Amino acid sequence: MTPEQLNKRLRKALYWLALLGVAGCSGVVMIASAAYLYLAPLLPAAETYRDVQLETPLRIYTADGLLIDEIGNRRDPVEFDDIPQVLIDALIATEDARFYSHPGVDFQSLIRGFYGFIRGVNLGGGSTITMQLANNLSFDSDNVYLRKFKEIPFALQIQRELTKEEILTLYLNTIYFGAGADGIGAAAFVYYGKKPAELTLAEAAMMVSLLPCPSSCNPLSNPTRSIERRRTRLKNMVREGMIDEQEFARADAEPVTATRHNRNIEINAPYVAEMVRQQLYEQHGEATYTQGFEVVTTIESRHQLEANSALIDGLEDYYDRRHGYRGPAASLAPLPNEDAEALRARWLEALAPVPTYGNQQPAVVTSVQPRSFTALLSDGEEVSVGWDGIGWAYAFRSRNEAWPPPQVASDAVAVGDLIRLRERDTGWELGQVPEIQGALVSMRPSNGELLALVGGYDFRRSQVNRVLTPRPPGSNFKPFVYGAALEDGYTAATLINDAPLTRGDYRPNNFENNFLGPVTLRFALKESRNVPAVRLYDQLGSAKVFSFAKKFGLPVENFPRNDLTVGLGSSDVQPLEIVTAYSSFANGGFKVEPHFIREVSNLDGVQYTAQPLEACEGCAAARILDARVAYILNTLLRSVIVEGSGARVQREIGRNDLMGKTGTTNGPQELWFSGFNRDIATTVFVGFDTPEPLGEREQGATVSVPIWIDYMKAALEGTPENSMSRPNGLEDRLINKLTGEPAVPGSPDAVFEVFRSENAPSAPARPAPGSTLGADNEEAAATETIF
């Protein structure tokens, strides 16, 4: 081929390449123009994003001012002049080295990144600080492809509307740094307790290292990894000539000094916090978390602390331990040829993600001796567990059997077992996380304020709030049957037959599997006899019982109408509904509404103040029960405490102002106790989340009663006795406590009973002063003078 022919072909090829290039560029321009014309109306206007608003999280407090929880992110916007140069340099060196030279989109980097993608090689991303800002400010609801498609024109728009300094400021004010901190103003405080201008080079580099993974690689959760990430940011600054090697070395050598500076949670009440959050969110939506709402609850910190301890300790001690040891969660036995250092590292790695629940800390058994063992905790401490902490660990066989007892420590544990330990005042002991659950709720009967609420064993393990979960209350419902009877004209001395009863296929039985014949209402309720309760419910009819129970707020609309088991508490009721109803017994018959928020305020001031109705004569609360009926019902529930199924309360607390009732359902599957004085009413529920038998030996008196005692003993410490005052219109009569018939002074089994005047039997009134009563009469007089 001649040189002329070669030149001709070359010119022709260049011509076609140029033509294709022009066409290609024109096509790109046309596509870009069309895309921009399509997307321009969808892009946010500058006034919608230029100004960043202060965001303050929701804070929830006890009635006495202690912090329960802080929900939401902080944002404390700063000006450009408040941002240190070292932070700007660390950001630019890491995220966008050509920040000052591109128009918001670095096409060179985009092409390089696309080329690397085609080749399967990571040549770096093409996203600029401005494009990241565009993504942060909008498009949250878009799919990933549409969001990326919008980033470029929006970044170009931002570049036209804002200066580089404004872009940097807006970016650093809106990016999330983890630990609930939106923006550098909040992040500098949360991690270092500083203003941004006070950050050191090492701290600034650490802040920038958070941006790709603020939750998983921050210095609070992973200090080791954060040091490596900080080093990379410092090297980027060296590469860009922003710092020298000496500055790098000094900053790289600095230890991790970040600690959480959020406001410290002072009272553990997560179930209360979640109730508050839900209520505010229903009213204010997403603004709940950003507008500085502060909620003062009705919760008393001292009562809440005691409630936490009573329920957590009680589920562990009064139920779980008594049913035996279920064994380790896993085995991490030493591997062949594994040296001690590698084994310890493996154990610590396995422990790291395992949370502490309740009192139960995770640990790995490191050595076993005949009557003791040592174990490694997640913080690296090694502790010893003696026989006093092992001997309880009978082998779990079923809910009804734990056998055999351990003879040596190796009967319970082996080296490498992943176990739980509990630290008591007397030392460490082998433990386990209970499978059982429960709830405790405590109320002020005078106005319905919640004083303490624990919705489960540990909120981190289960967020189900069992205070609000309906379950069958068992005999906790019986006072509403007896109350309906008293309102209908029955008396505490009325006889009800404790004898076999058949209604169709239903044949109720007593817990003791026997029948006693005619018994008084007082005796039947005191001893929680089932058959008399069903017979009484049958005599009254569901309409009268439901009408009575509805006044107290129980959800009788959900109860079956022709089911005698309702009289024994077979229909579901929330513990909150039960404690509210019992509060009306405690206050003498007034309706109260349960509430847990006392005041709500935000940056604009107080938005809500509770105005509960006070329960007393002449006050605003509505009377729902004749005071005389309420008083007699109180005396019946006092008998339960003095000599009935709740007698442990009297033995261990020893006050004369406590009344209550146990509750046990078939199985038994649910265990209850509700009790009160005039100042505090408290309900305790215990059961599995999926109902199943708890063990044939269990009843309300074995688990719920001691939990209630532990709480109420502490809650009432130092307070005077206080119970319902005796109203007018009542009369005392001497009766035979077995037959309910009028009695004369000195006769066997004679006791005083209290009646409404219109229902009092015609019989001699109480003996004149100085008369001699038998021992039983003295006991009756003591009972009568309690109120």
**Encoded tokens for 691:** 């109902």
| Catalytic residue status for 301 | no
Alpha helix (H) ranges present in 377-529? Answer: 478-487, 521-526
CB 680 within 8 A of CB 715: yes
Interhelix angle 164-174/184-192, rounded to 10 degrees, is 50
Please give the biggest Cα pair distance in the chain: 148
CB 413 within 8 A of CB 331: no
How far apart, in whole angstroms, are the C-alpha atoms of residue 278 and residue 531? 43
How far apart, in whole angstroms, are the C-alpha atoms of residue 525 and residue 508? 16
**Encoded tokens for 131:** 């494009």
CB 359 within 8 A of CB 312: yes
Ranges assigned E (strand) in 63-182: 67-71, 74-75, 181-182
Is the N-terminal amide bond of 255 cis, ω within 30° of 0?
A: no
Helix, coil or strand: residue 108: helix
CB 464 within 8 A of CB 456: yes
Q: Parallel, antiparallel, or unpaired for β 181-182 and 74-75? A: parallel
Q: Parallel, antiparallel, or unpaired for β 659-664 and 450-454? A: unpaired
CB 314 within 8 A of CB 707: yes
Helix, coil or strand: residue 456: coil
Token pair 């609070």 is found at: 220
Which entry of 127, 138, 226, 475 is annotated as an active-site residue?
475
CB 443 within 8 A of CB 682: yes
CB 393 within 8 A of CB 403: no
Angle at 440 between CA 439 and CA 441, to 5 degrees: 125
| Catalytic residue status for 557 | no
How far apart, in whole angstroms, are the C-alpha atoms of residue 286 and residue 289? 6
- State the burial class of residue 228 (Cβ atoms within 10 Å of its Cβ: 0-12, 13-18, 19+): exposed
Angle at 765 between CA 762 and CA 767, to 5 degrees: 150
**Encoded tokens for 662:** 């146990």
Tell me the C-alpha to C-alpha distance, in Å, between residue 173 and each of 196, 204, 674: 11, 15, 52
418 forms beta bridges with 330, 364
Amino acid at 591: K
Tell me the C-alpha to C-alpha distance, in Å, between residue 667 and each of 403, 467, 500, 513: 22, 21, 21, 15
Which entry of 55, 95, 294, 577 is annotated as an active-site residue?
95
**Catalytic annotation, residues:** 95, 475
